[in-house]
Amino acid sequence: MVHLRIVAPHESAGRALELLEASGSVCNVILMEGAARKPAGDVILCDVAREDASVIVDDLRELDIPAQGSIAMEYVDTQISDAADRAEQHAPGLASDAVIWEDVEHRSQEMTEFSLTFMAFMVLSMLIAAVGILLDQPILIVGAMVVGPEFGPLAGLCVALVEERRPLVKRSLAALGVGFPIGIAVTVLVTLAFRGMGLIPEDFDPNDHPLTNFISNPDFFSFFVAFVAGVAGVLSLTSSKSGALIGVLISVTTIPAAANVGVASALGEWGEAGGALLQLSINLAAIVLAGVATLYMQRRFYVSRRRKHLSDPVREAAGLPLGKSSRSVVIGAPPDTSER
């Protein structure tokens, strides 16, 4: 179940209340008249079956509630209620397969923020990977994969491409386009510093690291693993299963490949650097391709569900039109799913 807290002016709150009471996938509806002070209005609390959460929120958007008040969402981990069970049975599908698009959009926006923290994690993860390459230690490579924050902008880019959000595309590309070059540049400088301090033997051969050699030698399986990991990563994002995301981060070699570009460049091994750069490019392309394909299919299922819901008689209770959405298309706003 998903818990909603709705703040709206009295008139809009009345229409929202009619909608929520008429919907079979909503339960535990509570009205607190005049409880809101900023903005002034009523407060409505309710629980919605996860499968219908985005559908109900879209109806509330049609009532213009976000512009006049707010809609807050949070997950209900456990609820002992026959009414909640009936609400979940009313909503077709499985809760584990449902995608709450508002949550996905919000989290993808957060993950694409190019901040000092993001940049720090990019640099630190590449430095860990660089040491792993110099010592030929796979455990350090795995550690660098987990620390790396690059999947956030990649996931944000996938969401932006599927939902045609140009500002989010630019933010995601900016984070990746600045984060990787800076991380590689710092890795070059640190590797040169290691060499200057005598920490790297003169006879060190960048090509002779059998345990981590896969980083600079891409093949079909490089693409395959990155593609599968991209699918799993997007599914972990849309299903809120963060545990699966850890496995995704360990599966792809974006950060180690970028670090290897820096290490090999610092040591003048341009063939090794080229192989690592190709590995990085393959991983990035495969993850984005897989993410876009996965999100597109999930979005198609939601659009089909939304279109079917537009003909649900419960919309009449709130004064919403049947068979079409009353939302107008606004530049910068989420796309109107009734038209897509």
More confident: 89 or 244? 89
The reported pTM is 0.84
pLDDT in tens, 31-66: 999 999 999 999 999 999 998 899 999 999 999 999
pLDDT in tens, 254-280: 999 999 999 999 998 899 999 999 999
| 67-94 mean pLDDT | 89
d(CA 9, CA 40): 7
